[in-house]
Amino acid sequence: MALPESERDLRLDFFRGIALWLIFLDHIPSNVVNWITIRNYGFSDATEIFVFISGFTVAYVYGRAMREIGFIVAAARILKRAWQIYVAHVFLFAIYLAEIAYVAQSFDNPLYGEEMGIVDFLKQPDVTILQALMLKFKPVNMDVLPLYIVLLLGFAPMLWLLQRSPSLGLATSALLYALMWWFDWNFPAYPSGTWAFNPLAWQLLFVFGAWCALGGAQRLALWLRSPIIRGLALAYLVFAFTIAMSWYFPRLGNLVPRIVGELIYPIDKANLDVLRIAHFLSLAVITVWLVPRDARWLESPLAWPAIICGQHSLETFCLGVFLSFAGHFVFTEVSNRLWVQVAVSLAGIGIMVGVAWLISWYRRAERGAGPPPPAKRPRLVRGAA
């Protein structure tokens, strides 16, 4: 199937689509297929990919608008996008809870409510819904969209600063990250605890993606081509892989010096541990090396499924959350044999691709664009590494 003409760097859509697939697989408990996801082989996972690319694309789109039509209108557009994602989150919340509650009641299995974190909703639906509207109550697997909403709400001033002084903007983000660690800042969650993805921490990766989109990637190009940097990145990935394998094979754990364990643990995902950032950056260095901006295979039909999911990331993510619980239901009530796990995983990804294609087709039809044009080399995002 031919790819539509685009001004975007196809790598952004491709890797965001891959990240959405990996998030879907990781959200299905006891799924052997999620052994192919990156979270099992290092410190970071698909969430870092999604947040970084989101920051990159948001800065590219709204940064151009801010330059052309000014801060006020661009900020209003960013807030409009945050509102759209908030509405999607509320709809997903309602449908997701209905799905879980229906299955739990139909199969007389209250464990579904406990596993998915909706026991408080079943006990006090009125209070819980209000807390959910304030983004404090989030069932299992529904933490990413609230994070994205908060990041967008505060992004307009940062985008303005990044356009005028990129180094100062990135330094300001890093300072906020450091203060978060120093004062242990986070947002409160309901009924207790704090956010699973601390926006005050994850904003650093989001802003770094924006910084790269606004010319930072060009400034890093010389470093990324350095064999020394690539060697260090590979060495760190090997180190992270070795540590990750020790989690699953106790004998390997005995080979890890105690002082290393004392230095690196705990590797905090909620507050975006430095080790996770370093692991993501190492992956990015190797990826940019192996996948150049003019890679021809990105135009091939094999890359199209991931690209089209990445182009419709909001809808694909919401669908993936719904399908992940459906997969969990199949494993629990029908069968969890190996071939069933593989079939459910492939079927879920296939449904995500099909829905993304349907959305793309509908939007083309609505614009009267007709069938997609033949594949054509896209113009790449300015400033992409």
Predicted confidence band of residue 382 (pLDDT cuts 50, 70, 90): very low
Residues contacting 82, CB < 8 A, separation 6+: 149, 152, 153
Can you tell me the mean pLDDT for 170-174? 98
pLDDT confidence of 376, banded at 50, 70, 90?
very low
Which residue in this structure is represented by tokens 């080399």?
377
Q: Work out the average pLDDT over 181-195.
A: 96
Cα–Cα–Cα angle for 34, 56, 60, rounded to 5 degrees: 145
Q: Which of 127, 175, 136, 149 is nearest to 51 (CA)?
A: 149
**Domain-by-domain residue ranges, the chain?**
10-367
Rounded distance, CA 114 to CA 16, Å?
31
Mean pLDDT within 179-190? 97
Confidence at 190, pLDDT banded by 50, 70, 90: very high
Closest CA to 202 of 15, 335, 50: 50
Q: What percent of the chain has pLDDT over 90?
A: 80
pLDDT band at 123 (very low <50, low <70, confident <90, very high): confident
Band of the pLDDT at 122, cuts 50, 70, 90? confident
Q: Taking all residues of the chain, what is their mean pLDDT, rounded to a whole number?
A: 91
Residue 333 has pLDDT above 50, yes or no: yes
What secondary structure, in 3-state letters, does the chain show? CCCCCCCCCHHHHHHHHHHHHHHHHHCCCCCHHHHHCHHHCCCCCHHHHHHHHHHHHHHHHHHHHHHHHCHHHHHHHHHHHHHHHHHHHHHHHHHHHHHHHHHHHHCCCCHHHHHCCCHHHHHCHHHHHHHHHCCCCCCCCCCHHHHHHHHHHCHHHHHHHHHHCHHHHHHHHHHHHHHHHHHCCCCECCCCCECCCCHHHHHHHHHHHHHHHHHHHHHHHHHHCCHHHHHHHHHHHHHHHHHHHHHHCHHHHCCCCHHHHHHHCCCCCCCCCHHHHHHHHHHHHHHHHHCCCCCHHHHCCCCHHHHHHHHCHHHHHHHHHHHHHHHHHHHHHCCCCHHHHHHHHHHHHHHHHHHHHHHHHHHHHHHCCCCCCCCCCCCCCCCCC
pLDDT digits (tens, 9 = 90+) for 76-116: 999 999 999 999 999 999 999 999 999 988 888 888 988 89
Greater confidence (46 vs 252) lies with 46
Tokens of 126: 């009125």
Average pLDDT over residues 295-310: 95
Instruction: Check whether 7 has a pLDDT greater than 80.
Output: no
pLDDT tens per residue, range 212-225? 999 999 999 889 99
Residue 258 in this model has a pLDDT that exceeds 50: yes
Give 323's pLDDT tier (boundaries 50, 70, 90): very high
Q: How confident is the model at residue 8 (pLDDT cuts 50, 70, 90)?
A: low
Structure tokens that stand for 372 in this block: 């997609």
Nearest CA among 60, 114, 164 for reference residue 332: 114
How far apart (Å, rounded) are the C-alpha atoms in residues 201 and 271? 5
Judged against a pLDDT cut of 70, whether residue 183 lies above it is answered with yes
Mean pLDDT of 187-213: 97
pTM listed for this prediction: 0.92
Mean pLDDT of 39-64: 96
Judge whether residue 5 has pLDDT over 70. Answer: no
Is residue 384 pLDDT above 50, yes or no? no
